[in-house]
């Protein structure tokens, strides 16, 4: 059975937590918040995730976003859906809302490095749902979409890109890796102008080039060599980050003198 009782019960539980008890909306929009966890569950199902992972995706924000009068706890989820689901939901829950935006995101980024593959898959679906929605909204409303957030545009985009890079590096065979890198490339384009000015690619002569030199993307902080990441042109080649597409190095070929 595809639509199992456990998945159906998770949908009902999430609807009660986000919609019935608080009529929660997406940030800065009049769209019911429940569309997000249901989208996360759908992405996980399409990725071939097992039942408990799909259930955790549907429930992933219930602890973090539940209201005090109807507080959802790990114990409550474990009793209804099992210990594995409860552990997965807790793993993707921000632990300290009292911290500043920068502190919370830095802590969350470090926490991702400790995730199991199942937690990484839930987080991947969460990032895809949020990232694709941001891309669509930006296409309609431009940079006004960033007024919804508690941080400026550049910090929002850099956090997304660093998060995607961390997820992909932690689990290269993640079934959602290609979708994540697509989202990263689109988000990078949103900040292309500021990223170009603030983080210019390094330009060198071919005589200075070292094929095994470790490069670092100044935007998402990917680290690696130029192998497999070059694009050749007539008089130069460039090296771009495989995660977000930011150009990190330009190498000019030696001039050929006639005669």
Do 114 and 70 share a structural domain? Answer: yes
Q: Are strands 230-232 and 236-240 parallel, antiparallel or unpaired?
A: antiparallel
Q: Would you say residue 258 lies in a domain?
A: no
Residues 160-201 pLDDT 10s: 999 999 999 999 999 999 999 999 999 998 887 777 667 888
What's the domain count of the chain?
2
Do 152 and 170 share a structural domain? Answer: yes
Last residue of a domain, one of 194, 212, 241: 194
What are the angstrom distances between the C-alpha of 117 and each of 37, 122, 183, 202, 243?
Answer: 19, 9, 20, 35, 19
pLDDT at 258: 52
pLDDT at 254: 84
Exposure pattern of 212-249 as b/e (b: 16+ CB <10 Å)?
Answer: eeebebbbbbbebebeebeeeeeeebbbbbbbbbbbbb
Q: Write the CB contacts of 176 (distance below 8 Å, at least 6 apart in sequence).
A: 43, 47, 121, 124, 125, 128
Record the pTM.
0.89
Distance between CA atoms of 184 and 202, rounded to whole angstroms?
21
Last residue of a domain, one of 155, 174, 194: 194
Which residues of the chain are under the pLDDT cut of 50?
A: 259
Backbone Cα Rg of the chain: 21
Q: Residue 62: left (phi > 0), alpha (psi -120 to 50), or beta? A: alpha
Query: Are residues 217 and 211 in contact, defined by beta-carbon separation less than 8 angstroms?
Result: no
Name the residue range of residue 173's domain: 5-194
Do 207 and 159 share a structural domain? Answer: no
pLDDT at 196: 67
Do 77 and 91 share a structural domain? Answer: yes
Do 36 and 132 share a structural domain? Answer: yes
Query: Are residues 201 and 221 in contact, defined by beta-carbon separation less than 8 angstroms?
Result: no
């Amino acid at each position: 059975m595809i639509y199992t009782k456990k998945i159906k019960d998770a949908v009902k539980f999430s609807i009660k937590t986000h919609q019935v008890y608080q009529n929660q909306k997406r940030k800065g929009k009049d769209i019911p918040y429940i569309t997000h966890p249901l989208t996360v569950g759908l992405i996980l199902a399409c990725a071939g995730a097992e039942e408990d992972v799909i259930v955790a995706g549907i429930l992933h924000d219930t602890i973090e976003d539940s209201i005090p009068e109807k507080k959802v706890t790990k114990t409550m989820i474990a009793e209804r859906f099992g210990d594995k689901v409860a552990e997965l939901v807790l793993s993707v829950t921000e632990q300290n809302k009292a911290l500043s935006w920068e502190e919370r995101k830095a802590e969350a980024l470090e926490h991702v490095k400790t995730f199991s593959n199942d937690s990484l898959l839930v987080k991947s679906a969460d990032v895809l749902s949020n990232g694709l929605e941001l891309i669509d909204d930006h296409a309609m409303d431009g940079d006004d979409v960033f007024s919804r957030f508690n941080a400026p545009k550049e910090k929002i985009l850099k956090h997304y890109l660093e998060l995607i890079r961390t997820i992909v590096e932690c689990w290269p065979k993640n079934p959602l890796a290609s979708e994540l890198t697509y989202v990263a490339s689109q988000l990078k384009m949103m900040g292309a102008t500021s990223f170009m000015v603030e983080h210019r690619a390094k330009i060198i002569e071919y005589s200075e080039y070292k094929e095994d030199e470790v490069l670092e993307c100044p935007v998402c902080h990917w680290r690696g060599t130029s192998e497999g990441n070059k694009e050749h042109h007539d008089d130069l080649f460039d090296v771009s980050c495989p995660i977000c597409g930011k150009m990190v190095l330009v190498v000019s070929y030696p001039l050929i003198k006639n005669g």
